[in-house]
Amino acid sequence: MEKIVTQKYLDELTYEIIGAAIEVHKTIGKGLLESVYHQCMMEELRHRKINFSSELKIPLIYKSRELDVDFRCDLLIENNIVVELKAAVELNPIVEAQLLTYMNLLKVPKGILINFCCGNIFKEGQKTFINEYFKMLPKL
């Protein structure tokens, strides 16, 4: 039986994803490479039985033709939330633009940017984005 995707469901899933990031951060701390956090997040998501794809290649279709670009999102959760992982002291605004681009190309309603190079994931290490696909979903 397929899940009905609602805003409430995606908000609850977002809470679980951020909880997974907090657990990873609490367990291994800050100051490691992004690839380390990526591996740990995948393990934590598996532990929580959350379905995801990793390093998903995102197609770019222009006038019915797929162009050869190498867009890859770090994690696509339940085919509805793009998660981009970072481990940087400062995030360039281009990172947010990249996440929004991935959300639109994949036609997913939500995205989460998680930066593990912070003191507290919940307060300063994550930012959630929604788009028009989210606004079209039923609330409950």
Backbone torsions φ then ψ of 123, nearest 5 degrees:
-80, -40
DSSP state of 92: -
Per-residue pLDDT of the chain (140 residues; tens, 9 = 90+): 567 899 999 999 999 999 999 999 999 999 999 999 999 999 999 999 999 999 999 999 999 999 999 999 999 999 999 999 999 999 999 999 999 999 999 999 999 999 999 999 999 999 999 999 999 999 98
Question: Rounded to two decimals, what is the model's pTM?
Answer: 0.94
Cα separation, 48 vs 24, in Å, equals 12
Domain boundaries, the chain: 7-135
